[in-house]
Amino acid sequence: MQRRVRTGYGAGALAVLLAASGCGGDPAPAGPAPVPAKPVAAASPAPSAPGSPSTPAQDAVPDAAWAKWGLKPLTKAPAPPADRPIKLTRSGPVPVFSEVPTSDRVVFITIDDGAEKDPKFVEMLTELKVPITMFLTKDIVKNDYAYFKPLQALGNSVQNHTVSHPVMSKLPAAQQKSQICDDQAALTEQYGTAPYLFRPPYGDGADTPALNTAVQECGPRAVVLWRESMQIHDMQYQAADKKLKNGDIILAHFRGPSELKGETMTRMFGELLSRIQEQGFAVARLDDYVAKPAG
């Protein structure tokens, strides 16, 4: 049975999620178990943003490129599905999802915040063509917006992760809206396309009406959580069997040696790719599995 996208506002699913968060800090406690979700209404897919290829290009990566980074080649990702399983609408409550319902043996890598701006990581992604989705925080990236533009040019979309990375449920509704809307405006101006996905810091407040309303009013059309989080050499899993599943979304961060106990971001990312490769998964582009509203 495939896992479904949820649109309900229960927060119980966050209990394990917050414990596995790599964002640091002390998030708010989880609440009661969530109400079963209703399916998300269908919408026509919108054209891809400029610079966002719709077909993975990992088949063009020579073995020598993988070897340069101490890696074995990843399994080639399948062609993007014609019928994208996550379907977003232009209005109404936004869905909350931490995985994509798919039979494809793929996972999705998301990278948050933007603190570490290692040029070697840009080189790594340019050579390996591994797709990622970036959830950027304005106050963390504003000292060097330009760093992320080569990554965006590779087809990696920029998404919303608030202005200052607060625990959202501790803020009044107006401040939640300001955190999301101000980040939305800054990222749209800097990167030329409006984020359509939002990730709350620590995953906090994801299923609350206040945050859902703020997301709706600021422009994103979904809240994206995660199933696994990458630490330094290994992943933390929510599933008891500690295994990846089809469609899992993985959380990582733009972090460097000071946060990774001396390791570089490229080493951490290489370890992440190794864990994915060992379990026989490919890395797909999240945008290719999400049908954005037309218009």
User: Which pLDDT score is estimated for 293?
Assistant: 87
pLDDT, residue 50, reads 37
For residue 224, the model assigns a pLDDT of 98
Domains of the chain plus CATH, in order, are 40-290 (3.20.20.370)
* Statement: residue 63 has pLDDT above 80: yes
The two tokens of residue 271 are 């370890």
Ranges 40-44, 50-54, 81-85, 237-241: which has the least confidence: 40-44
Please give the pLDDT value at position 207: 94
Q: What is the mean pLDDT of residues 85-90?
A: 97
pLDDT of 161 higher than 50: yes
- Residue 238 · residue 16 · CB < 8 Å: yes
For the chain, how far is it from start to end, CA to CA, in angstroms? 33
Average pLDDT of the residues in 1-26: 42
pTM: 0.85
Res 58 pLDDT > 80: no
- pLDDT at res. 295: 64
* pLDDT (0 to 100) of residue 195: 98
Query: Does position 60 have pLDDT exceeding 80, yes or no?
Result: yes
Residue 50 DSSP symbol: T
According to DSSP, the residues that pair with 252 across neighbouring strands are 111
pLDDT of residue 294: 79
Q: What is the pLDDT of residues 181-231, one digit of tens each?
A: 999 999 999 999 999 999 999 999 999 999 999 999 999 999 999 999 999
pLDDT digits (tens, 9 = 90+) for 92-144: 999 999 999 999 999 999 999 999 999 999 999 999 999 999 999 999 999 99
Please compute Rg for the chain using Cα positions: 18
- Rounded mean pLDDT of the chain? 86
pLDDT above 60 for 18: no
Q: What is the pLDDT of residue 237?
A: 97
Q: What is the predicted pLDDT for the residue at 273?
A: 98
Query: Given a cut of 90, is residue 47 above it in pLDDT?
Result: no
Counting beta carbons within 10 angstroms of the beta carbon of residue 277, is it exposed (0 to 12), middle (13 to 18) or buried (19 or more)? middle
Structural contact between residues 212 and 205, judged by C-beta atoms closer than 8 angstroms: no
Q: Are 112 and 161 in contact (CB under 8 A)?
A: yes
CA distance linking residue 177 with residue 212, whole number of Å: 10
